[in-house]
Structure 1
Amino acid sequence: MQHTLPVTAYTLTYNEAHQLRDVLESVKWAGEIIVVDSFSTDGTVEIAREFGAKVISTEFCGFGKLRNLALDAAKHDWIFSIDADERCTPELADEIRRELEGGPAFDAYLVPRKSHFLGKWMRHSGWYPDYRQPQFFNRARMRYADDLVHEGYVLNGRLGYMHEHILQFPWPTIEVATAKLQRYSTLMAQRYAAMNRRVTLGRLVGSPVAMFLKIYVVQQGFRDGWHGLVLAGLYAYYTFLKYATLWELRECRR
């Protein structure tokens, strides 16, 4: 792609120096790049500035609020959201260009992701096409919910689908996976506590089992071989941690 597009691409970071160059290189077609950083200490900000990105430094206040902060700072109405563990493919960039040149038919687009676990593209286990919130959208039509984690969105317009993919590499090792799951389980427990959700024996014991069966059986994780089995186990572990931490917050920290 020879010319940049009237699109603001943004990403959220905290100590992402090990992979930030790859993600920013993949969105150099965007007319503006914003990095919302929660005071990284590993050179993340310096790398962002090498790419000419606008850097916004702020305390972590929840993923939803951080994403809305990026929208408010953008100079373009069309936004491309990409996480630090994702890569925009050239084919997707070309599809975005064609949409803009032809006049977008929708106000927001879900983008399919090829998500990799321990180096393997997971075709099952609920990981494909693995849509999250719309990743290409008009900010005049969409905002994020102010959630700590697993943030929702409000769309006042039409929702479409892109055909080309984003590549995602969220869990390259078990160590990285468990560290992320511990963080997200704590944030989710805090969110549940704020909602006054209670912990029952069924949730603490039954929910992890149900999650394992959902990933491995219902979503056919068994077709991903050992990777699918281990992934289902990790999701069960996350589910147990989430409710155990909620129990701790409600019963042990009064």
Structure 2
Amino acid sequence: ILELDADERVSDQLREELDRVLSAADCTFYYVPMHNYIGSVWVRHGWGAYNGAAAKVSLFRKGSKIWGADRVHPRLTLIGEGGWLHGHIDHFVYDDAGALINRLNRYSDAAACDAVLQGRRLHAHRTARRFFTRFYKSYCRRRGYREGWRGVLLALFSALYPVLTHLKALELAERRGRDG
């Protein structure tokens, strides 16, 4: 199974590699590198958390990739032997900065709903710490600073995601308690 989202395209290099890999089929799943774009610009650094990944399991045999129940980036269980492909998927994540804001809002809404429905306990000190650690991880460790304003935006939104999720979950739980 080759899994692609609507905003993803197979590169020519990956297309050629798929022909070879499918005939050999040494592994049950494969990680495929992602080229993530904001507009028409390939942004190489700073991805992670909710906003994009450097690679993902996009090629797998039936039954070797099992998704969890969360609405936003559910946990995966991978079964069998994995491998890496060299060809990439072009992932047109965002058209512009406004699209980043809209996605942050949608994803934090869904994650807050999951947190409340699953009865997850949220801790303000952990959420505050995650703001700083996520920003640092995206901007410094994943070298988002090399991407100019796009790197700042990715780091800031990675940091804001758990904070917004936490606040929206509190609001949702309060509303549910009031409405019974």
Does the TM-score normalized on the shorter chain lie above 0.5? yes
Q: Paired residue for 2:124?
A: 201
Q: Paired residue for 2:21?
A: 99
Residue 117 of structure 1: which of 26, 31, 38 is its match? 38
Q: Paired residue for 2:153?
A: 230
- Contact 1:203/1:243 (CA < 8 Å) preserved in 2? no
Distance 1:202 1:118, change over 3 A: farther
Q: Secondary structure at the residue paired with 2:55?
A: coil
**Cα-to-partner distance string for 1:61-89 (whole Å, 9 max, x where unaligned):** xxxxxxxxxxxxxxxxxx10001111111
What is the RMSD of the two structures over their aligned residues, measured on CA atoms?
A: 1.9
Q: Is 1:191 paired with 2:114?
A: yes
**Cα-to-partner distance string for 1:88-130 (whole Å, 9 max, x where unaligned):** 11211111111122x2110000100010124321221136961
**Aligned residues between the structures:** 174
Q: Secondary structure at the residue paired with 2:90?
A: strand
What is the distance in 1 between the residues matched to 2:38 and 2:10? Answer: 18
Distance 1:204 1:126, change over 3 A: same
Q: Paired residue for 1:84?
A: 6
TM-score for both structures, normalised by structure 1: 0.63
What is the distance in 1 between the residues matched to 2:91 and 2:30? Answer: 17
Structure 1 or 2: more helix by fraction:
2
Q: Which is bigger in relative contact order (C-alpha 8 A, separation at least 6)?
A: 2
Matched residue type, 2:34: R
Unaligned runs of 5+ in 1: 1-78
Q: Paired residue for 1:72?
A: none
Unaligned runs of 5+ in 2: none
What is the distance in 2 between the residues matched to 1:252 and 1:129? Answer: 34
Q: Paired residue for 2:58?
A: 135
- Contact 1:124/1:219 (CA < 8 Å) preserved in 2? yes
- Contact 1:118/1:173 (CA < 8 Å) preserved in 2? yes
Percentage of identical aligned residues: 30
Q: Paired residue for 1:162?
A: 85
Residue 94 of structure 2: which of 158, 171, 174 is its match? 171
What is the distance in 2 between the residues matched to 1:211 and 1:119? Answer: 25
What is the distance in 2 between the residues matched to 1:153 and 1:146? Answer: 10
What is the distance in 2 between the residues matched to 1:222 and 1:146? Answer: 34
Q: Paired residue for 1:252?
A: 175
Q: Paired residue for 2:70?
A: 147
TM-score for both structures, normalised by structure 2: 0.87
- Contact 2:34/2:54 (CA < 8 Å) preserved in 1? yes
